[in-house]
């Protein structure tokens, strides 16, 4: 389109996009009425747009999740912000510094631990995590029915990929954690519809407390059984285990302490 008598690609595109001034737009429209070459060129550009759009939608649309879940999450966050605007400001400002603050907090805890437990500096990584941090691990579930879950009887938790485990350790401020000391556990077990998602994973200490990973495993088995025999609603089980799994254990095992076989 180097011929001065023809319109430039830029004019053709801007005209099609409604980005020309009224005067220039009228000139382009008049020219197009007379010039087959420019109309053909405009059509070529339109076809290029069409192909790009098709390529884009074919590639990206399948990976865009449904809006319902994110919308509900936004509503919940907005409700919290509306109720506590000052808290929101602090949260926003804290975003960039959250990691540093967590690391600092971890460092303080470690220093205190070192002062009280001499000779354990080689085990700096063994910071026990007893309960999930709600901000880091609120829980996440899949859209599955009770029937689907109960058909796969005896389903065990899938191994969490190592890369995801590392991210969990980092989020909890224990990047050098000894993997054998922890189970990167699902807050809501997949047997109850829990998702393999970082919001549903936390590093649970195996041994540093009576409320350890093995005890929670027992609760997961119990809840799965109760859901499948119809004694407990799936949503209730998901809610209870994600809100406070220790309280849930006490509730469903009718005890204040872990049963011996689970420890």
- Shortest spacing between CB 211 and other proteins, in angstroms: 20
Q: Which residues pair with 202 in a beta bridge?
A: 185
Three-class secondary structure of residue 219 per DSSP: helix
Q: Which stretch binds other proteins (CB under 8 A): 21-29, 118-126, 135-143, 212-220?
A: 135-143
Binds other proteins by CB under 8 A, chosen from 53, 84, 111, 159: 53
Q: Which stretch binds other proteins (CB under 8 A): 72-80, 111-119, 214-222, 225-233?
A: 72-80
Residue 156 binds other proteins (CB under 8 A): no
Question: What CA–CA distance (Å, rounded) separates 75 from 79?
Answer: 6
CA angle at 130 for the pair 149 and 235, rounded to the nearest 5°: 25
Residue 257 φ/ψ region, left for φ over 0, alpha for ψ in the -120 to 50 degree band, beta for the rest: beta
CB 15 within 8 A of CB 29: yes
For other proteins, give the closer residue by CB, 1 or 107.
1
- Shortest spacing between CB 96 and other proteins, in angstroms: 9
- Shortest spacing between CB 209 and other proteins, in angstroms: 23
For other proteins, give the closer residue by CB, 70 or 175.
70
Residue 59 binds other proteins (CB under 8 A): yes
CB 43 within 8 A of CB 51: no
Residue 173 φ/ψ region, left for φ over 0, alpha for ψ in the -120 to 50 degree band, beta for the rest: left
Binds other proteins by CB under 8 A, chosen from 69, 161, 175, 179: 69
Question: What CA–CA distance (Å, rounded) separates 246 from 243?
Answer: 9
- CA distances to 19, 110, 235 from 178, rounded to whole Å, are 60, 15, 34
Binds other proteins by CB under 8 A, chosen from 32, 142, 213, 228: 142
Residue 238 binds other proteins (CB under 8 A): yes
Question: What CA–CA distance (Å, rounded) separates 136 from 220?
Answer: 21
Find the binding residues for other proteins in span 182-211 (CB under 8 A): 187-188, 195-200
Q: Which stretch binds other proteins (CB under 8 A): 111-119, 123-131, 141-149, 247-255?
A: 141-149
CB 15 within 8 A of CB 25: yes
Q: What is the dihedral of CA 113, 115, 118, 120, to 10 degrees?
A: 30
Residue 13 binds other proteins (CB under 8 A): yes
Residues in contact with other proteins by the rule CB under 8 A: 8-10, 13-14, 17, 19, 44-45, 47-49, 51-53, 55-56, 58-67, 69-79, 81-82, 85, 88-89, 92, 95, 138-143, 187-188, 195-200, 235, 238-239, 242-243
């Amino acid at each position: 389109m180097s011929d001065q008598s023809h319109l430039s690609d830029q004019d053709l595109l801007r005209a099609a996009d409604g980005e020309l001034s009224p005067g220039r737009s009228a000139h382009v429209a008049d020219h197009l009425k007379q010039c087959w070459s420019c109309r053909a060129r405009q059509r070529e550009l339109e076809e290029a747009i069409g192909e790009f759009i098709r390529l884009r939608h074919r590639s990206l649309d399948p990976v865009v999740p449904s809006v319902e879940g994110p919308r509900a999450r936004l509503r919940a966050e907005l409700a919290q912000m509306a109720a506590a605007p000052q808290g929101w400001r602090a949260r926003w400002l804290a975003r960039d510094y959250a990691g540093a603050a967590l690391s600092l907090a971890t460092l303080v805890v470690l220093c205190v631990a070192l002062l009280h437990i001499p000779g354990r500096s080689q085990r700096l990584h063994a910071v026990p995590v007893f309960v999930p941090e709600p901000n880091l691990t609120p829980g996440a579930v899949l859209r599955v029915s009770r029937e689907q879950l109960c058909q796969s009887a005896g389903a065990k938790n899938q191994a969490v990929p190592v890369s995801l485990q590392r991210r969990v350790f980092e989020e909890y401020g224990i990047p050098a954690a000894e993997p054998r000391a922890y189970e990167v556990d699902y807050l809501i077990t997949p047997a109850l519809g829990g998702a393999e998602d970082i919001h549903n994973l936390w590093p649970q200490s195996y041994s540093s407390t009576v409320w350890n990973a093995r005890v929670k495993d027992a609760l997961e088995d119990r809840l799965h059984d109760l859901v499948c025999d119809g004694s407990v609603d799936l949503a209730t089980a998901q809610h209870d285990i994600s809100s406070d799994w220790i309280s849930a254990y006490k509730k469903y095992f009718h005890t204040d302490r872990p049963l011996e076989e689970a420890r």
